[in-house]
Amino acid sequence: MGAILFSTKAIIVKMAFANTSMDALTLLTLRMSFSLPFYIGAVWLARRSENNTPLTGRQWMALIGLGIFGYYLSSLFDFVGLQYVTAGLERLILFLYPTFAVLINAWVFRQPVTRIQQFALLLTYTGIVIAYIGELRIDIGNPNFIWGSLLIVLCAITYSVYIVGSGRMIPTVGITRFTAYAMLTSTAGVFLHFVFAGSMHDLQVAGTHWWYGLLLAVVATVLPSFMLSNGMKKIGSSNVAIISAIGPVSTIVQAHFVLGEKIFPAQIAGTILVIIGVICIGWKR
C-alpha cells in the first residue's frame, strides 16, 4: 500500500502542473507545509513510545544531513524534473535508487558487490537504456527532456544517500523518531529555499489549488512514509525492496489512465528488466 501511494506522487504533481500555474518550488512548499503537523505529532509520539536516549551531536548532524538529502534535495530535483519528463519515466529512473545504494555501500563502506548484485546492476541499467531510448523517440520534440531526466537521476542518487544512512541510523535512533526528525529537517530546508527564492504572490495565487499540496502531503508523503518504515521494521528492508517493485508498474498504469500517457513496448521491456534487477538486489535466501 505504501509503495502504491508513493507512486501517486508523480501523477498528482503532473496534474498540478497541467491545471495550475504553480511552479515546482511553490508546490513543494505546499506539500511540506501540509505534512508538517503530522511529523510534529510523530515527534511527540516518538517521545512517548520509543527509546528517548538523547541524541549526540554527531547523530544530530547525520539526521540533518540525511533530511536535507532525502526529502529536500531529492524532492526538489524530482518536482522540477517532472516538468519535463513523463510520470512513467520518472518513476522508472527513480526506482534505480537501490542500485545506487549498492554502489554507495561499495565505494564508501567497502562492502563487496556480489555476483548477483553485479548481474542485477547490468539488468537495471540495460532496462533503463531500453525504456529511455523508446521514450526519447516519442518525446523527441521536448528540448528539456535530457535535462529533466538528469534531474530525476540526481533525485534517485540523493534519495539513495538517505536510504543508506537511514539503514545505519534507525537501529540506534528509532524508526519513528528518525523519520519525523528527517522530515522536519527537510521541511525547514524547503521553507528556507522558498523564503529566498519563492514568491508569496505565487503562493496566494495558488490558494484555490492548495488541495494538490494537501493530496501530496497526506496521500503521497505522510501515509506511505510511515507505512514503508513500519513495513521495513516488520519484514526487513530486502522484502520491502522486493514488494516496492509494484511502484513503477502502478505509476505507469495510473499515468496511462489518468494522464493519457502512452504505454509502448520499449517501456514495458525496460520496466521488466529494472524490476527484475531490483528484486535481485533485495533478494536474500
pLDDT value for 269: 94
pLDDT value for 32: 92
Q: What are phi and psi of 199, to 5 degrees?
A: -135, 125
Q: Sort 208 into a burial class: Cβ within 10 Å, 0-12 / 13-18 / 19+.
A: exposed
Tell me the one-letter amino acid at 237: S
What's the CA gap between 147 and 155, in Å, rounded? 13
pLDDT value for 268: 93
Q: Where are the alpha helices (DSSP H) in the chain?
A: 2-19, 24-49, 57-67, 74-81, 87-94, 97-108, 115-138, 145-173, 175-197, 200-205, 210-217, 223-235, 237-243, 246-254, 265-282
Cell of 264: 509502448
pLDDT value for 171: 83
Cell of 125: 541499467
| Residues 247 and 4 sit within 8 Å (Cβ to Cβ) | yes
Distance of CA 284 to the CA centre of its chain: 24
pLDDT value for 172: 84
Domain hosting residue 157, numbered range: 2-282
Residue ranges, the chain, pLDDT below 50: none
Number of domains in the chain: 1
pLDDT value for 179: 81
pLDDT value for 143: 84
| Residues 250 and 3 sit within 8 Å (Cβ to Cβ) | yes
| Residues 2 and 228 sit within 8 Å (Cβ to Cβ) | yes
